[in-house]
Structure 1
Amino acid sequence: MAALLLLLPFSRIYGLITDIRNWLYDRDLYAVYKSDRCVIAVGNLTVGGTGKTPMIEYLIKRYQFTGRAVPLETATLSRGYGRHTKGFRIASKQDSASTIGDEPLQLFRKFNQTVRICVGERRAEAIQKLLASYPETNRILLDDAFQHRAVKPQFNLLLTDYNRPFYTDHPFPAGRLRERRHGARRADAVVVTKCPLTLSDIEQNRIRESIRVYARSETPVFFAGLQYSFPVPFSGLGVFANLDRVMLVSGLGNADPLEQYVSRTFRMRTHHRFADHYAYSRSELDQLLAALQPGESLLTTEKDWVKLSALLKPDELNRLPLYYLPVEMAFLDNSKTEFDRLVDEIPFKKR
């Protein structure tokens, strides 16, 4: 508490700086690019994982598998955090986590036949380059773009973690907010992520009212949890083995929900936590493999799988007891129907 009190004055200064920046964008004193295509921004107010990639995947599946899009009509665009390249880049089979980032690579491995996966730190410039090369693109999903004011999206989707809601947090350095809480007023919808799937209506209403102190009164608020699937072998071959004893490895912004699920579902001996978007080395992987006990498997996230698997030889992929855990967004109660209706109604211009 003493440290918080000491840091709060600096948080107020940081919050004032972000307020001025937003004021300049709101009044068009900073250049803002607005595409004539459907641009949906997914982001948050805090640093750390709030489930942005599962949400991007949910939107991809919503548009691709409900007959609302044709192949390669939709593109995703992110900064490509952790990559060793610069500028605009469209993912290809030659790319790795070091060239496009771990989450874009994860998306590419899943959706490369139907969606273009792109990275570019300057989003406005990247969108224009994308459309110049592929004018048939009609929908662009911006990942982690709530504070990227240089692009004005058609729809701003704000995510907040149930375990760390933005309305109880503070700006840097006293807290984890990238800007002050009232930045939520830019949101066209808010999704509270990582909720318990049994979250009561009373608790939902309490959270909804807390959010509306800072968001617009008409902004809809939805609730979603994370739904884990059966573990998948690193090789992608064979059937799911009935795992029992596991060693968990993760590089996430907030790994607590994952740890809670794994400890409930398997006999988890230990959890090796790494920083978000961690770039593993072969020597670190060897240390993890050496720590495995007889009859124990290494279990990790899909985001970490794309990096760890690249360090292995083909025979190791098939031989070693290595698995990743797919996860997807699961809306609570009737939220799914309401949310789907909302995103289906986002203005979309067919060319």
Structure 2
Amino acid sequence: MNLIRFIFFPFSLIYGLIILIRNFLFKKGFRKGVAFDLPIICIGNLSTGGTGKTPHTELIIEKLSEQYQIGVLSRGYKRLTKGYVQASPNSTWEDVGDEPLQYFFKFGKKVSVQVAEERIEGVIRIAGDQPKTELILLDDAYQHRSIKAGFNILLTDYSRPFFSDFILPVGDLREFRSGKNRADYIVMTKCPKNLSEEEKMILTKRIQPNSIQKVFFSSINYKGIFNFDGQKLESLPENILLVTGIAKPKPILDYLKGKNVKHLEYPDHYRFKARDIEKITDLFDNFAAGNKIILTTVKDLMRLRIFKKFCEDYQNEIHYLDISIEIDNEKEFLQGIINYVESNKRNDSVH
């Protein structure tokens, strides 16, 4: 144990004990979560972020939105508004948060997207205002025990799985590893595409699923680079100014390997300021000559769009990298969700 771990270890134990007591109270019924007679799926993780929650939520939306009327409910991290807000074509990330705005940007015609600090209020509003809703996806709510989700999907990063991590502040875990026992599905994310069956077996043993849990492995699929109009570039330019404000940008850098990349890295959910835009434009204007672009992620684009002059002046240069998820045994993964939804049709009541 290094010095930093030694210093913070007592704080981790105190924090962990508080979370352990909280979970015990929920488990024994001293504190009760509200159960809705409406299918609710929680998608989350044990760690503080960077597990690929957003693209996995998008996978479920993409595959099931033709079959079910879906409502997505998020806290709306770092938004400036309060209370319940439904995303609309006029929403900015300051209204609903970057990830909810991303869901609306990509699927707004297929699903409804809402944010609320109080998830119970959010579900009640969705159920009341949109009575045709057949499925609610709770975004990043694995530790939000006040709602009793009917189906829990736990994500864990291949590069730092929960079984090799420790609780905050020594590690990145929001709760002890035993929290994985609440999950119906455990998905190891960002796996190498060539992950062997033998490696999957070894990792599954380390996850230690119980008899009713299912383990899946997923990897990132880069769909391509797109301009503001959604047109895909046929080939990558040689010179790229990469602007990211996400938890773990390394996979993107790996994808761009071999190109002349200048990377401006900001913290996850970073609130870009005017001086940041000035820095981006100055760097880009003085960047390598020839064919070049400003590249960002969809989530970062949601936050950059509020700088309208920047987006107008550099409309032809700004591009975003879109990704999707490839999950092994996808048919089984989706069928388990469908079976849950079909078995828990709405009866318009709360208890």
Interval of TM-score (by shorter of Structure 1 and Structure 2) = over 0.9
TM-score w.r.t. the length of structure 1 is 0.92
Asked whether the 8 Å contact 2:244–2:266 carries over to 1, the reply is: yes
Aligned to 1:344: 338
Asked whether the 8 Å contact 1:233–1:240 carries over to 2, the reply is: no
- d(CA) in 1 for partners of 2:229, 2:304: 12
Aligned to 1:155: 151
| TM alignment of 1:1-351, pairs within 5 A | 1-65=2-66, 68-69=67-68, 73-212=69-208, 215-236=209-230, 240=234, 242-263=236-257, 267-292=259-284, 293=287, 294-295=289-290, 296-313=292-309, 315-319=312-316, 321-332=317-328, 335-348=329-342, 349=345
Distance 1:241 1:308, change over 3 A: farther
Q: 1:50 Cα deviation (Å)?
A: 0.6
Give per-residue Cα distances to partners, 1:24-77, cap 9 Å, x unaligned: 111222231111111000000000211111011000011124xx22xxx21000
Asked whether the 8 Å contact 1:171–1:178 carries over to 2, the reply is: yes
- d(CA) in 1 for partners of 2:4, 2:276: 34
Aligned residues: 339
5+ long unaligned stretches in structure 1: none
Distance 1:238 1:273, change over 3 A: closer
Aligned AA (1:210): R
Q: 1:235 Cα deviation (Å)?
A: 4.2
- d(CA) in 2 for partners of 1:238, 1:340: 28
- d(CA) in 2 for partners of 1:117, 1:276: 21
Distance 1:56 1:40, change over 3 A: same
Asked whether the 8 Å contact 2:243–2:296 carries over to 1, the reply is: yes
Give per-residue Cα distances to partners, 1:166-216, cap 9 Å, x unaligned: 00111111111000000000000100001111111111111111111xx42
Aligned AA (2:272): Y
Distance 1:154 1:108, change over 3 A: same
- d(CA) in 2 for partners of 1:137, 1:145: 19
Distance 1:146 1:116, change over 3 A: same
- d(CA) in 2 for partners of 1:317, 1:76: 32
Q: Indicate the RMSD between aligned Cα atoms, in angstroms.
A: 1.7
Q: 1:350 Cα deviation (Å)?
A: 5.7
Distance 1:185 1:283, change over 3 A: same
Asked whether the 8 Å contact 1:235–1:318 carries over to 2, the reply is: no
- d(CA) in 1 for partners of 2:87, 2:203: 39
TM-score w.r.t. the length of structure 2 is 0.92
Give per-residue Cα distances to partners, 1:139-175, cap 9 Å, x unaligned: 0000001000000111000000001100011111111
5+ long unaligned stretches in structure 2: none
Distance 1:308 1:219, change over 3 A: same
- d(CA) in 1 for partners of 2:173, 2:315: 43
Asked whether the 8 Å contact 1:39–1:153 carries over to 2, the reply is: yes
Range with bigger deviation, 11-20 or 1-10: 1-10
Q: 1:104 Cα deviation (Å)?
A: 0.6
Asked whether the 8 Å contact 1:77–1:120 carries over to 2, the reply is: yes
Q: 1:229 Cα deviation (Å)?
A: 1.3
Q: 1:240 Cα deviation (Å)?
A: 4.6
Asked whether the 8 Å contact 1:161–1:194 carries over to 2, the reply is: yes
Aligned AA (2:100): P
- d(CA) in 2 for partners of 1:241, 1:271: 20
Overall identity of the aligned pairs, in %: 36
Distance 1:270 1:317, change over 3 A: closer
